[in-house]
Amino acid sequence: MIPNYYEFLNSVKILSGKKALENIPYELKYLGAKRPIILADKMLVKVGLVDHLLNAFKGSDIVIGALYADIPQDSSVKVVNEIAEVYRSQECDSIIAIGGGSVIDTAKGLNIVISEETDDLLKVMGAEILTKKQQPFIAIPTTSGTGSEATLVAVIADKDRNVKMEFTSYRILPDVAVLDPRMTVSLPVNMTAATGMDALVHAIESYTSIQKNPLSDAYAFAAINLIREYLPKVIENGKDEEGRLAMANASLMAGAAFSNAMVGVIHAIGHALGGVSRVPHGVAMSILLPFGIEFNMDKLAYAYGELLLPIAGAEIYASTKAEERPRKAVEAIRIMTKNLKEKAGLPLNLSEVGVKKEDFEQIAKTALNDGALIFNAKEVTYEDIIDILEKAY
Amino acid sequence: MSRKYQQIVPGTKFWKRAISSLVFWFLGRAIRAAVRLDPIVREEFNSWNDSATIILKINDFGPALGLQKQGEKLIKINAKKAVTGDLVIYFKNVDTAVLILLGQFGVADGFAQHRFLVKGDIGFSLSFVRILYIVEDYLFPSFITKKILKQKPKKGSSRLKIYLATLLGIN
């Protein structure tokens, strides 16, 4: 089905494979840059991932203007402004972000501050309102993942004003995304599972969003196929480089899908769980996925039936009657999450992660004001969210 | 040479601009009436900060609607004179603005199709959109709302009261 109207953009150049990092100096030159700032977090420096990146510059004439490795788990405007000062004082001309979603989002925030020439991100908060050309920006994800290396969204918290600022703009897409298997081989098994499920939910929700289109569907379908095949492999053997690269690709493709089709109720509630009850995002996605699908089933059964193919594989798809496929898709997801519980300790219920029932009201109110909700095909009310939380408890 | 190449100045879409202006006028009154008469809309409105300002505009030079919370009331302001708003919904062109304003497709679909930009807090925009859904359900007949709303919203007043208040300017 072709939508009445859609827009699609994925302008990110993707470098994927062995020694991909070593092409970064060339890409910087291609972008007209020669003095990048590198953003990372302390853990990545500790485990040596930043060293891989720094070594990639050896033999080039690129001078690194600064390395900022103090980025906390959640992006904040205070950190963004601090880095902007470093960027300006060190006369940097480009940005390299190596890390997970919070590092890449911080880099996007930095790019907005520098390029829009503002010190107040609140003034440019919103959807599609950025007007200035951004600085050259290379993203190197170290999880598989948020897909932030291919998305037009950044979320930055202003803790002083107690506001979570959302920026949606094609302009904040990175110029280059670098998928190097060295970046994820040391990811612990529980994080591998959680971030893998995050990517899966991106793909599934984008496939069923009101913004879906043929191109985002193609990315989503391909991403789910890869996750089905390779997530179990990298859970068994984290050193499987082919598997890690496949998952990195899946995460990027799922990111590209949701960048162009957005997500829905699972993400809206997941964000609220993160904000109110500090549930890690990937864990929340994994727990909520089957319940979110069941909630949407009366409107989206046809889509979930189609998704049985990449979720469970060709044999199960072909041997399942058409009317049974939506239910079978949920079953396949429950089998997947049970396996991840056994192999990687990924929780199955909200009660396992310390969510309190007395917080349900706050979670539901927060979820109601999450931008993801508008893209859910089925209307979601406060009572619906409470119901989902009860079932997922 | 100068005769061969002449500049082309685009004309205006007079009727679409006129229709948009009229709908904005009507919509502004209807939203204010709903804030006054519908307790469900009122509850949503009460969650807004005082002096919260909403601007709906059609590109840089088209018709516009400005609303501002002042204490217990939602008042109309001159959108063209307002420097900015806490929430600015900016339709990219008058053609798609008319389609949305006349209920040919809904706000959610309009946003999904990138028909308008949103400047400001997305959470606040969703609160405003929930009020818009209720007002659309009051104003449009059911064969239109079936198409543009995912679900019939809960309402706390009657269509007759809202229409009367809108037409008579009781807000």
pLDDT at B83 over 70: no
Q: Which residues of B touch A (CB under 8 A)?
A: 88, 90, 105, 108-109, 111-115, 117-127, 129, 149-151
Distance from CA of B1 to the nearest CA of A (A): 36
Mean pLDDT for B68-95 is 90
What's the pLDDT at A109?
A: 95
What pLDDT score was predicted for residue B2?
58
> Which of A4, A7, A374 shows the shortest C-beta gap to B126?
A374
pLDDT confidence bin for B24, thresholds 50/70/90: very high
Co-location of A227 and A163 in the same domain: no
Pair B68, B51: CB distance under 8 Å: yes
Q: Is residue A216 part of a domain?
A: yes
Range of the domain at A216: 187-392
Domains in chain B: boundaries? 14-162
Output the CATH code of domain B14-162: 3.30.1050.10
pLDDT digits (tens, 9 = 90+) for A231-290: 999 999 999 999 999 999 999 999 999 999 999 999 999 999 998 999 999 999 999 999
Strand partners, A95: A37, A137
Instruction: Supply φ then ψ for residue A373, to 5 degrees.
Output: -65, -30
Q: Are A193 and A340 in contact (CB under 8 A)?
A: yes
Q: Do the chains contact at A163 and B114, CB–CB below 8 Å?
A: no
Query: Do A211 and B113 lie within an 8 Å CB cutoff?
Result: yes
Asked if B113's CB is within 8 angstroms of A3's CB, the reply is yes
List of residues 6+ apart from B171 with CB closer than 8 A: B29, B32, B33, B35, B36, B73, B74, B165
Partners of B111 on chain A (C-beta within 8 Å) are 127, 374
Domain co-membership, A366 together with A324: yes
Which CATH number belongs to the domain containing residue A220 in this structure?
1.20.1090.10
Q: In this structure, are A198 and A345 located in the same domain?
A: yes
Percent of chain A with pLDDT over 70: 100
3-state secondary structure of A205: helix
- Model-level pTM? 0.94
Task: State the burial class of residue B63 (Cβ atoms within 10 Å of its Cβ: 0-12, 13-18, 19+).
Answer: buried
Please say which residue of A182, A206, A223 terminates a domain.
A182
Same domain assignment for residues A229 and A356: yes
Residue A36 belongs to a domain: yes
Whether residue A1 is contained in a domain is answered as no
Q: How many CB pairs under 8 A join A and B?
A: 70
Identify the CA nearest to B13 among candidates B138, B119, B113, B97: B97
Give the CATH number for residue A23: 3.40.50.1970
- Domain-located, residue A111: yes
pLDDT value of residue B1: 54
Nearest to B117 among A5, A127, A377 (CB): A127
- Nearest by CB to residue B112, choosing from A163, A373, A375, is A375
| Residue-level pLDDT, tens digit, chain A, 393 residues | 799 999 999 999 999 999 999 999 999 999 999 999 999 999 999 999 999 999 999 999 999 999 999 998 878 889 999 999 999 999 999 999 999 999 999 999 999 999 999 888 888 888 888 989 999 999 999 999 899 999 999 988 888 877 778 899 999 999 999 999 999 999 999 999 999 999 999 999 999 999 999 999 999 999 999 999 999 999 999 999 999 999 999 999 999 999 999 999 999 999 999 989 999 999 999 999 999 999 999 999 999 999 999 999 999 999 999 999 999 999 999 999 999 999 999 999 999 999 999 999 999 999 999 999 999 999 999 999 999 999 999
Asked if residue A338 and residue A264 are part of one domain, the reply reads yes
What interface predicted TM-score (ipTM) does this complex get? 0.90
User: Which of the listed residues A182, A215, A230 is the one where a domain comes to its end?
Assistant: A182
Residue that is last in its domain, among A158, A182, A206: A182
Kindly state whether residues A298 and A359 are assigned to the same domain: yes
**A174 and A197 in one domain?**
no
Q: How far is A16 from chain B (nearest CA, A)?
A: 31
Please give the structure tokens belonging to residue A115: 């390029």
Smallest Cα distance from A2 to chain B, Å? 13
The region that residue A313 occupies, defined by phi over 0 for left and psi between -120 and 50 for alpha, beta otherwise, is left
Q: In this predicted structure, what is the pLDDT of residue B10?
A: 87
Report the mean per-residue pLDDT for chain B. Answer: 92
Q: How far apart are CA B162 and CA B35, in angstroms?
A: 10
Q: pLDDT above 90 covers what percent of chain B?
A: 81
Domain count, chain A: 2
* A81 plus A169 within the same structural domain: yes
The predicted-structure confidence for A345-388, as pLDDT tens digits, reads as follows 999 999 999 999 999 999 999 999 999 999 999 999 999 999 99
Same domain, A44 and A124: yes
